[in-house]
Structure 1
Amino acid sequence: MAGAPPPLLLALLGLAALAAAGATNAAGRKTVGVYELRKGDFSVRVTNWGATLTSVVLPDSKGNLADVVLGYDTIAEYVNGSAYFGALVGRVANRVANARFVLDGKVYHLYRNDGKNALHGGKRGFSKVIWTVKEYVGSGDSPYITLYYHSFDGEEGFPGDLDVYVTYRLSGPYELSLRMNATALSRATPVNLVNHAYWNLGGHGSGDVLRHTVQLLASRYTPVDAGLIPTGAVAPVAGTPYDLRAPTRLGARLRLVSGGKAGVYGYDTNFAVDGEARALRKVAAVRDGGASGRALELWADQPGVQFYTGNFLAGVKGKGGAVYGQHAALCLETQGFPDAVNHPNFPSQIVRPGQVYRHNMVFKFSF
């Protein structure tokens, strides 16, 4: 952290929890903290527990500041939570059918943590480990933090050693960029990293997002079965409730989409983003339909985006005493297609030794 001011240590993990998380070794104890990046009245906070985005604070149309991502007050709650609030998810985000895949003729079995499937990297995915802070500059023209994690061969069943980096940066006025890369060191492996921030542009405790309008620049999507596993088809959105190519108020649509379980509705869907994959392009636009006037554009270079509308949130105690209910936020997780390792027709997520996986996102806010 050369040249950086001391980190803003807003919360520390209890010693018992650190030990349980494997944070101790002969050389000492890793520190878990929360680090602030600030540029005027725009600020974000990141913790090296799970490389997690814990807050994004910006003005509304009247200059009032609010935090627009859901989260918790303490690191211990992130350790114990199951909603993946703000986390950097991997080694393979989303679902892998039957928690298995075949690569170069060998069968690999993963940890089953979603029924018979693997979800978001398994029981101890990248969102449930301590990352190393490599660089931190909290203020100035382009504040940033770079975090590093080494994933070992066989972790959660995945093959090969993997070096992973993520940089959060305030890259422009009211602009937050994420740069992720991962280098395969020893064996071929699937890699699909996502940021799992939950957005509510009215403020994290302002209620549901049914008045938000959403536009996704995606002409196709990947239908799923009852277990939310892709069928292998890549279908047109035209004439379906998945057609969000024009700005659409969520309240008018959510009940038209099954959430995957009885009585649950809303989007939990991968969309195939239009345009050339691996090129930075506009993916989505969101606007608060309430008084704040806040809006965001998401730009990214991945083939897909998982659009999730908080269908399974139910009475989750969040920051500042807020309670998050169903549809309290939405997620826009740019990604490779879910279960790509089991669908040869999907864009490949395999990274071979010496190759580098890259994933770039830019959130552009206005008000």
Structure 2
Amino acid sequence: MMARAALLPVALLLCLALAGNADARRKSGGGFYELKNKNGDFSIKVTNQGAAIVSAIVPDGKGNLADIVLGYDTVAEYASGSASFGATVGRVANRIANAQFVLDGKTYHLIPNDGNNTLHGGPRNFGKVIWTVKEHVHDGDSPYITFYYHSFDGEQGFPGDLDVYVKYQLSRPYDLSIRMNATARNKATPVNLANHVYWNLAGHGSGNVLKHKLQVLASKYTPVDGSMIPTGQVVPVSGTNYDFRKPTTVGTHLEIFRVGGNGYDINYAVNGKQNAMRKVARVQEPKSGRAFELWANQPGVQFYTAGGLANEKGKDGKVYRQYGALCLETQAYPDAVNHPEFPSSIVRPGHVYKHDMVFRFSSQASYYDA
């Protein structure tokens, strides 16, 4: 009995040590984490591989639950996949022309990964790295998880050390908030983080999103050249196929999808005061009634209809095809670092970049019901 009693503390210490090692592995390696509301009818899963949203379970107008986010089954697929499903992309989301920019008189050369341009921060952008899990509260009134990543001076060609945090949180009945902040430690640097979640409100893998209804609260957009680089103009949407100021079916302008076959991939200049939270867009899938409003504090939003998807193997055996989702990525204007006429994306040493957004989900019988 005495020998067995003496072993108990050792066994307990061993269990604690193993638990500590498991926790360390959990924080340093890739894994999946869940947040769930108290009613159990609204939840998301995320991964610290790319600080990405993996799934979002949301009820429809009859209370039926469905996962409305495109994604993969394994962490390895998030590391190797080309679609940036749900990822936090950066240091600079979207495109930088000719993979270079000049800042404070110095030219910085980046790594091109989109023709001659840099897309989403380069081939090893923030969506391709492991983030540290700092906090995780699984359920309760406001479950949340916070990821952290340190981007070193010179990473993918960008100047200066950068400390980055991303927090996902559920609140109210069906609100998902995403808060991103980044502190420049020792050099001025461009920062433009974006969340690259692919939405299909009928359910992931259910078909295309051309019947979704969309409203974008933006009276202007930034035209691009043949390499998808902004021309520097900010022009009215009125009279163009980019006018979604009133709720409009995504596939209304079929020529956008038939000529060239790539759909929408364009940045809008969001109405209202910059750096202030304001409504950016609203989306609804008519059959299910699922909808969300997007609120954010960034000057722009990229509307993308997943024209680049081509038989991508996703979760649960689903195959995702062209136009199988839409993205609404709040952001700075693309290539802002090369366009002084655009709102600045430069963060100075000691200053903090803040990017907040909220997805407010609901389900109504009609798009026009509030």
Same fold, judged at TM 0.5 (above): yes
Q: Distance in 1 between matches of 2:32 and 2:329?
A: 22
Picking from 322, 330, 337, the partner of 1:341 is: 337
Could you tell me which residue of structure 1 aligns to residue 213 of structure 2? Answer: 213
Could you tell me which residue of structure 1 aligns to residue 12 of structure 2? Answer: none
Could you tell me which residue of structure 1 aligns to residue 262 of structure 2? Answer: 265
Percent identical: 67
Gaps spanning 5+ residues in structure 2: where?
A: 1-21, 364-370
Could you tell me which residue of structure 2 aligns to residue 288 of structure 1? Answer: 285
Tell whether 2:297 aligns with 1:301.
Answer: yes
How much does 1:76 deviate?
A: 1.0
Picking from 313, 323, 336, the partner of 2:319 is: 323
Could you tell me which residue of structure 2 aligns to residue 364 of structure 1? Answer: 360
**1:256-299 deviation per Cα after TM superposition (whole angstroms, max 9, x unaligned):** 368xxx73231100000000010000000000022x11011000
Could you tell me which residue of structure 1 aligns to residue 149 of structure 2? Answer: 149
Could you tell me which residue of structure 1 aligns to residue 18 of structure 2? Answer: none
More helix by proportion, 1 or 2?
2
Q: Provide runs of 4+ in structure 1 moved above 4 Å.
A: none
Q: Distance in 2 between matches of 1:77 and 1:143?
A: 26
Q: Distance in 1 between matches of 2:289 and 2:177?
A: 22
Q: Distance in 1 between matches of 2:155 and 2:71?
A: 27
Could you tell me which residue of structure 2 aligns to residue 18 of structure 1? Answer: none
Q: Distance in 2 between matches of 1:189 and 1:177?
A: 26
How much does 1:61 deviate?
A: 1.1
Which deviates more, 219-228 or 72-81? Answer: 72-81
- The amino acid across from 2:299 in the alignment is P
Q: Which aligned pairs between 1:1-367 and structure 2 lie closer than 5 A?
A: 30-39=28-37, 40=39, 41-256=41-256, 263-290=260-287, 292-367=288-363
How much does 1:365 deviate?
A: 0.4
* Counterparts in 2 of 1:254 and 1:179: CA distance versus 1, 3 Å: farther
**1:282-317 deviation per Cα after TM superposition (whole angstroms, max 9, x unaligned):** 000000022x11011000000000000011111011
Q: Distance in 2 between matches of 1:255 and 1:171?
A: 40
Gaps spanning 5+ residues in structure 1: where?
A: 1-11, 13-22
Does the 8 Å contact 2:96/2:335 carry over to 1? yes
- The amino acid across from 2:362 in the alignment is S
Q: Distance in 1 between matches of 2:197 and 2:330?
A: 11
Q: Distance in 2 between matches of 1:169 and 1:29?
A: 19
Q: Distance in 2 between matches of 1:254 and 1:103?
A: 41
Q: Distance in 2 between matches of 1:134 and 1:254?
A: 46
Which deviates more, 232-241 or 245-254? Answer: 245-254
How much does 1:205 deviate?
A: 1.6
- When the two chains are superposed, the root-mean-square deviation of aligned CA atoms in Å is 1.6
**1:209-256 deviation per Cα after TM superposition (whole angstroms, max 9, x unaligned):** 011000000000000000000000000000000111000101212423
What TM-score do you get using the length of structure 2 for normalisation?
0.89
Q: Distance in 2 between matches of 1:43 and 1:309?
A: 24
Q: Distance in 2 between matches of 1:360 and 1:200?
A: 22
Q: How many residues align?
A: 339
Does the 8 Å contact 2:28/2:131 carry over to 1? no
- The amino acid across from 1:280 in the alignment is M
